[in-house]
Amino acid sequence: MIQDDPRHRTPIGASPWVERFAGLVPPAGSVADIACGGGRHGRLFLDRGHPVLFADRDVAGVADLAGRPEMEILQADFEGGAPWPLAGRHFAGVVVTNYLWRPILPRIIELVGPGGVLLYETFARGNEAFGRPSNPDFLLKPGELFEAVRGKLVVLAYAQRVVDAPRPAVIQHIAAQRAGGATA
Ligand SMILES: C[S@@+](CC[C@H](N)C(=O)[O-])C[C@H]1O[C@@H](n2cnc3c(N)ncnc32)[C@H](O)[C@@H]1O
């Protein structure tokens, strides 16, 4: 882990982007909260009646949920070079916020099953003017999420913008859907 790593800082409350598009995830379909931290988005989907996979290298933030039948906790280091732990899995909803590790971006997109929705939001270039993350490894390039899903998912909404809350930042976010019938 490098020093300029802001990825343990987790805002309280769901992202307005995820809340806005949560209803696009097919009802009762399974949801993956990737690099979940405290699981604020997985919890949102649990409350909406979805089974949820919470995945992170540090799952202490969701330990209180252990044992609930409609959820699964996966402790995995996505950056350590181990085989991708979610190979072959598909979800009706895939949520990633405030996390970027470019080598697994194609793997994350593969997780979206037919009819499923990807909701991805993280920091983008320009954020260095406001503070961390400032390392380009953790900042999306202009249009990067849009380009990442091109030819794979249908873009429903996409933006890069400066936000004021929970603190000033440059973020990029996307809501995109895979064509086809609903994934359970
Ligand atoms: C800033 S937090 C974001 C948490 C959550 N997505 C949110 O927005 O509330 C980044 C998360 O990425 C996780 N993470 C960082 N490096 C990881 C790795 N190599 N493998 C798996 N998870 C990792 C951290 O443990 C942390 O929970």
- pLDDT at residue number 3: 29
pLDDT beyond 50 at 8: no
In DSSP notation, 114-134 reads EEEEEEEEEEBTTGGGTSS--
33: CA distance to ligand 1 center in Å?
Answer: 10
pLDDT beyond 70 at 38: yes
Residues 113-119: what's their mean pLDDT? 98
- Of 99, 102, 105, 92, which Cα lies nearest the Cα of 149? 105
Q: Is the CB of 77 under 6 A from ligand 1?
A: yes
Express as a percent the part of the chain with pLDDT over 90.
Answer: 86
What does the mean pLDDT of the chain come to?
A: 93
- pLDDT at residue number 182: 73
Phi and psi torsions of 146, nearest 5°: -60, -45
Taking 3-state DSSP, the helix, strand and coil percentages for the chain, each rounded to the nearest 5, stand at 25, 30, 45
pLDDT tens figures, 74-100:
999 999 999 999 999 999 999 999 999
Instruction: Give the mutation target among 17, 57, 78 for probing the ligand 1 site: most ligand atoms within 8 A of CB.
Output: 57
Q: Is the CB of 133 under 6 A from ligand 1?
A: no
Phi and psi torsions of 100, nearest 5°: -145, 125
- pLDDT at residue number 4: 34
CA–CA distance, 24 with 153 (Å, rounded to integer): 14
pLDDT beyond 60 at 145: yes
176: CA distance to ligand 1 center in Å?
Answer: 21
pLDDT tens figures, 151-171:
999 999 999 999 998 899 999
- pLDDT at residue number 5: 38
Q: Model pTM greater than 0.85?
A: yes
- Of 74, 16, 68, which Cα lies nearest the Cα of 44? 16
Contacts of 72 (CB under 8 A, 6+ apart): 51, 52, 53, 54
Q: String of b and e for 147-172 (b: at least 16 CB within 10 Å)?
A: ebbeeebeeeeeebeebeeeeebbbb
pLDDT beyond 50 at 9: no
pLDDT range class, residue 11, cuts 50, 70, 90? low
- pLDDT at residue number 17: 97
CA–CA distance, 97 with 135 (Å, rounded to integer): 17
